[in-house]
Structures are given as structure tokens and as C-alpha cells.
């Protein structure tokens, strides 16, 4: 584990953006820079940190943690669904198959929690009771375990995601009923595998989202990332029951505390300019990302803070440059 003081010293050692040469047409996503070639796509995970539909911070080591964590989980779940991975030539980079992206985020929730407008707790607090076909009773407490994991999809759109039912997704043309049924069943199977493995390592996989595409043969394929601290919420398993009984919040093992800081210090959805997050919080979130990686994979996370990240990536991607 990299000491927290080392992370505080290197809080500005982040990959904010890339301009890699001879790798194809670039598109900038929320977190990843995407370089497209004729038969493959190069995904570069930056240290950009998004929430509330906007960029809120840059977190040291985040891009490398996302890439390494996803690689671990892709290997753990390839018997459930094929994934798009071809190669991982750099700590921040994966080379993947081109797929036709399904414009649906397959959200699976295991607990009644969250703070954003699309979270199940926010919607439950506002009176909504039917989630993915599961009707919840009145009077449930925040952070309670749901009777069963629910498939609670949202749209995948440039402006903001919308929580829609399967029937609404079909009606708006996002996917067919048959494809969404396959997507739901696959997402629930992935979530069960994720919860089982997480519990073995002392963690609760609270909720997550998956993205899927169709490969050149029309086969459903898992894309983007899986069970990372960006796409998932984790709590510590050992203290959950005691903290719920006392009315305390679970021990977060994710990015929720930074979201809550922004909600306490500004209106993150509407303020034109956001305050800069304290460096101590940035370093702590970096530490948590690294700890999740090490806890899950059993591998030590390392980072050379003397070599510029973009320079290292360009060197490691030379074999993929278009001549």
C-alpha cells in the first residue's frame, strides 16, 4: 500500500487528459480517452473523477486502479459473458474489440442507498416504490438490504442518464424486449458473482452498473469496466450489521464521502463553478481506490511518480500506432 503521506505529496500527479499520436481518432469520455481504429479501440483511463453529471476532481492513481480492477473482474466473469479485452499494454490502458454499444446502463442494486437524483434511496424518499418490478414497502431505512437484487436500468446519454423501466426503454427504442431480458439476466448473474467474491474479501458489493455491446457476430459482450470503485459502491462487511443497528452509516469503501462533501459545500447539480475539493480528501480517495484494488486482487499496487504518465503510455502503445 502506498502511504497516505506519499499520496498527499503527489496529489497533483494525475492524468487529466491525453493527446496520444498515431493511435486513431480520439473521443473524450467522462473518465476515458477513446482512440478508435478500424478493428479495435484503445481505452485510456485518466484520473478524471465525475459525479453529478460533471467533472468534480482528479484523483491520483485512479486510472490505473480502474484498469487493473476491471482486468481482474473480467477474468473472474468470462464464464458468464464474453468481454471485449484484447490486451492490457499499460497500467492505464486496455485494447478492446469494437462493439456496437447498447445505450443502456445495466444498474443492479442490492441495498437501499445513494445520494444522487437517480439513486434508489433518493427516489424511494420521494415516494417511488416500484423498482425493476420489485415493489418495496413503506418505512424502510436507508442502507437496508433489499429483499433481492434489482435490475434498475438507466439510459446512457450525453447530457444525463434517466432511470427508465424495461417497457419505457423498449418504447423509446433503446433496445428490444428480448435483448433487455438477456441483458438483465446477465447483469444479475454478474452481480451475484461480484457479491460472492467481494464477501470472501470482507466487502459488500452494494450496487453497480454494467455496460454491454454486441460484437461482430451479434453476441452480447461485456464492455467498459466492471466492479471498479467508479462503477460500484462498496461497504465493509464486518461492521455493517452493528452500524445499521446503531443508526450509523456503513463504513464506506468507495467515493460516496466525496460526493457528500460536495453536496454539503455547494449545489453540485446547478452551481456553475464548484469549489476545489480539499487535498486531504483527494489523497484519501486515492488511498481507498488502491486499497480496494489490493483487497480484491491480492496484488500490491505500485506507481512510479517520477515518470510522466502520458509519456509512459505513449511508449507502451508504440506497437498500436498507425503507420
Q: Tens of pLDDT along 132-145?
A: 888 999 999 999 99
- Longest Cα pair distance anywhere in the chain, in angstroms? 63
- Residue 52 scores a pLDDT above 90: no
Report residue 231's pLDDT band, with 50, 70 and 90 as the boundaries: very high
Q: CA 243 to CA 100: how far, in whole Å? A: 44
- 134: helix, strand or coil: strand
How far is CA 99 from its chain centroid? 19
Residues 6+ apart with CB under 8 A from 164: 153, 154, 155, 172, 174
At 150-194, the pLDDT tens digits run 999 988 876 677 888 889 999 999 999 999 999 999 999 999 999
The DSSP bridge pattern shows strands 134-135 and 145-151 to be unpaired
CATH number at residue 214: 3.30.470.20
CA atoms within 13 A on the CB side of 208: 27
Q: Which pLDDT value is given to residue 159? A: 67
300: domain range?
Answer: 4-320
pLDDT at 51: 87
Strand 85-90 to 54-58 pairing: unpaired
pLDDT value, residue 255: 78
Tell me the C-alpha distance between 202 and 157, whole Å.
34
Give the chain's domain count. 1
* Rounded-to-integer distance, Cα 209 and Cα 267, Å: 25
Return the closest-CA partner of residue 257 out of 228, 226, 278: 278
- For the chain, the average pLDDT equals 94
Amino acid at each position: 500500500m502506498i502511504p497516505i503521506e506519499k499520496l498527499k505529496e503527489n496529489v497533483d500527479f494525475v492524468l487529466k487528459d491525453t493527446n496520444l499520436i498515431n493511435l486513431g481518432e480520439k473521443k473524450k469520455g467522462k473518465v476515458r480517452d477513446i482512440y478508435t481504429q478500424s478493428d479495435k479501440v484503445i481505452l485510456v483511463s485518466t484520473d478524471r473523477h465525475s459525479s453529478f453529471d460533471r467533472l468534480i476532481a482528479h484523483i491520483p492513481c485512479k486510472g490505473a486502479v480502474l484498469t487493473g480492477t476491471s482486468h481482474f473482474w473480467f477474468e473472474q466473469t468470462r464464464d458468464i459473458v464474453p468481454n471485449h479485452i484484447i490486451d492490457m499494454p499499460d497500467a492505464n490502458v486496455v485494447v478492446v474489440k469494437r462493439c456496437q454499444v447498447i445505450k443502456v446502463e445495466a444498474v443492479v442494486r442490492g441495498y437501499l442507498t445513494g445520494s444522487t437524483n437517480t439513486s434508489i434511496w433518493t427516489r424511494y424518499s420521494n415516494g417511488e416504490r416500484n423498482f425493476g418490478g420489485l415493489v418495496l414497502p413503506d418505512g424502510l431505512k436507508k442502507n437496508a438490504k433489499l429483499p433481492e437484487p434489482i435490475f434498475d436500468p438507466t439510459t446512457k446519454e450525453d447530457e444525463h442518464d434517466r432511470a427508465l423501466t424495461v417497457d419505457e426503454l423498449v418504447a423509446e427504442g433503446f433496445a428490444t424486449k428480448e435483448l433487455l431480458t438477456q441483458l438483465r439476466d446477465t447483469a444479475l448473474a454478474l452481480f451475484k458473482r461480484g457479491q460472492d467474491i467481494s464477501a470472501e474479501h470482507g466487502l459488500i458489493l452494494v450496487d453497480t452498473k454494467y455496460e454491454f455491446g454486441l460484437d461482430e457476430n451479434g453476441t452480447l459482450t461485456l464492455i467498459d469496466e466492471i466492479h471498479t470503485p467508479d462503477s460500484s459502491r462498496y461497504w465493509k462487511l464486518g461492521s455493517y450489521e452493528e452500524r445499521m443497528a446503531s443508526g450509523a452509516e456503513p463504513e464506506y469503501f468507495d467515493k460516496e464521502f466525496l460526493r457528500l462533501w460536495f453536496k454539503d459545500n455547494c449545489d453540485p447539480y446547478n452551481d456553475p463553478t464548484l469549489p476545489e475539493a480539499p487535498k486531504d480528501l483527494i489523497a484519501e480517495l486515492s488511498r481507498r481506490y488502491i486499497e480496494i484494488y489490493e483487497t480484491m486482487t491480492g496484488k500490491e499496487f505500485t506507481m512510479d511518480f517520477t515518470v510522466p504518465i502520458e509519456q509512459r503510455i505513449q511508449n507502451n502503445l508504440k506497437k498500436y500506432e498507425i503507420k
